[in-house]
A and B are shown apart, each in its own frame.
Chain A
Amino acid sequence: MTATLLSTRDLNLAFGAVVVADHIDFELGEGERLAVIGQNGAGKTTFINICTGLVRPDSGEVRFLGKPVTNLPPRVIARQGMVRSFQLPQLFLEHSLRDCVRIAAAGRSGRLGLWRPLGEAAPARTIEHVLELVGLRERGDEPCESLPEGQRKLLDIAMAMVLEPRLLILDEPTSGVSTEEKHALMQTIMAALDEQRITTIFVEHDVDIVTRYATRVAAWISGRIAADGPPAQVLNDPEIRTSVLGE
């Protein structure tokens, strides 16, 4: 039995008449690699937003590492080790790749000095290692505006990884990336996560990728978890096949 990393109890949230979280009880153990599937608007990103503190639930509780984190701001939750990447890469567009990672590292160490250069806020090898993991070290000094979408995603994930998360939540890491590049991208990400032994939740639409990289799948329908279990079981569930996978 692995230790519970993240759990939610009876999470509820509605935007007007639209229910985006409907009595969500959920538990995630250390070392799991969970794929979250579901159609657009099913509440996947909202679930992530609630867990990471961006959105407050109407009711219910989120616990991380045994402690309640409901209603804490994202920066506090991030510093406790629950970190996310974004569907649309969230970068500091006027900074270089290396500085984006350095700023994140400075956030991690909490050392926001007014005098010492940013480069000294975290050990250079930590920064270089993370950039190396996502294969962007060579381009480290370029402005991140110059990156194509796929690599922006990688940088976004690198900025999350340098925070040394216990749990990394990836919101659609392969969206906006061409089909040919998807697998290479996932390969890079997963290898990097393996190396750091980071527990992962990733939102994904591509069944191939889910089958290949997930150890567990949770399917969202209208704000509730309709199925949760090993990939083979969930992906073969008739309800999931019709309402989530659209077959």
Chain B
Amino acid sequence: MRSASMQTASPLDASKKAPRLPLFLAISGALALLAVLLPQALPWIKTPFIFSTAFGIAALGVAILVRAGQVSFGHAMYMCLAGYFVAYLSRWAGGLDAILLLLGGTGFAALCGLVIGSFVVRYRTIFFGMLNLALSMVLFAVLGKFYHYTGGTDGMRVNRAAIFGVRLDRDGFESALLYLSVALAMLIGYAVHRYFRSAAGEALAAMKTNETRLEYVGISTYRVFLTGYVLSAALCGLAGAIFAISQGLVTPEMGYWVRSGEIVFISILGGVIHPVGAFIGSLIFEFVKLYAAAYLTGAWQMTLGTVLLVMVFFAPDGVAGLLARRILAQEGQERKAGGRP
């Protein structure tokens, strides 16, 4: 009896301990199917789906930090760094496969994450957030000013690459890139899910509630946070590489602070309780933006703002949090009905 009352008192904390939620798995599958099947009927939707998958991966990266209780307002810089690295790679080593470009972009972002993270993870809360923002703005300015190397605000072109050695026309390329990103998103979602449940991931979440104690049980918060930071940079890097390859163009605007804000927005909207939250968030974000821009031209930011306000007031744990709450309430009722304590 006692344990049942405790669970209803604080359902969300308990939900963090409920990793085998079949509903989340079903949602992930449904999202993937939707992303693969819908474009068969509506071909124009491919690009928004690729973008929303990419931003979902980036938001998942930021979600890692949010679990540690930290928010970065500069993580678009890793998307941007990876994007430019991809652009340079395709310029210097023409004909490089898209897979290698993705790997290269991700690896480069991870490396930058390690270097930048080595000092940034010493800071917390607003200092952490603003330091990331400051660095991203430095990058933005540098990319815009060094015209001869970066193409300035016009950016750099990324030629359409072969995928797995196959050269495709524009339409085929987009389809292939969509399938590839969805497959990657599923794999990464699973990997991040494992990470969240692992010792390192749980220690990262424990950082949010008690850093002192973490040190006192022999765990280095610096290492735990740096690991999370590098992972988040790598995910944002992969997102940036997908974005660059899909768009065929990189501009400094990719690393602008508003983009960073959008990634944070998506991870809050989706919720950080489960990796699928990031993708739900990015899908909502992409399509609200798309339709608001079409039907409420000039007021799409207002629409997005309203969506975020509603979420913050009524579902502070995001869509995934809302779902988790529902599942737990249901489980609680079933338990009561079954007469188990």
Interface of A toward B, CB cutoff 8 Å: 52, 54, 73-76, 78-79, 83-84, 86, 90-96, 99, 102-104, 106-108, 110-118, 121, 139, 141-143, 145-146, 159, 163
Contact = CB atoms under 8 A, between A and B. Distances in A.
A118 B202 contact: yes
A76 B220 CA distance: 9
A201 B7 CA distance: 36
Contact of A52 (B3, B194, B216, B223): B216
Contacts, number: 128
Interface string B200-232: 111101101110111111111001100100000
B195 A75 contact: no
Given A93-B210, A112-B203, A118-B198, 19 more contacts: A79-B218, A84-B216, A95-B16, A95-B17, A96-B14, A103-B199, A106-B199, A107-B203, A107-B214, A107-B219, A114-B194, A114-B201, A114-B227, A117-B194, A117-B197, A118-B197, A141-B14, A143-B10, A163-B218
A233 to B, nearest CB: 33
Contact of B202 (A76, A95, A145, A163): A95
B210 A90 contact: yes
B42 interface: no
B6 A93 contact: no
Which 7 A-B pairs have CB atoms at the shortest separation, nearest pair first? A107-B217, A107-B218, A143-B13, A90-B213, A106-B199, A92-B206, A104-B217
Contact of A113 (B9, B200, B219, B220): B200
A79 B203 CA distance: 16
21 contacts: A78-B216, A78-B218, A86-B213, A90-B212, A91-B213, A94-B209, A103-B202, A106-B199, A107-B214, A113-B199, A116-B199, A118-B197, A118-B198, A118-B199, A118-B202, A139-B2, A142-B7, A143-B6, A143-B14, A146-B6, A146-B9
Contact of B215 (A73, A106, A121): A73
Given A90-B210, A99-B17, A99-B202, A115 B195 contact: yes
Majority SS at the chain B contact face = helix
Given A75-B218, A99-B17, A93 B209 contact: yes
B203 A103 contact: yes
A79 B227 CA distance: 21
B197 to A, nearest CB: 5
A142 B218 contact: no
A139 B199 contact: no
A126 B33 CA distance: 44
Nearest to A76: B218
A54 B216 CA distance: 9
Interface string B64-76: 0000000000000
B8 to A, nearest CB: 11
Contacts of B206: 92, 94-95, 103
A141 B17 contact: yes
B201 to A, nearest CB: 7
Nearest to A89: B213
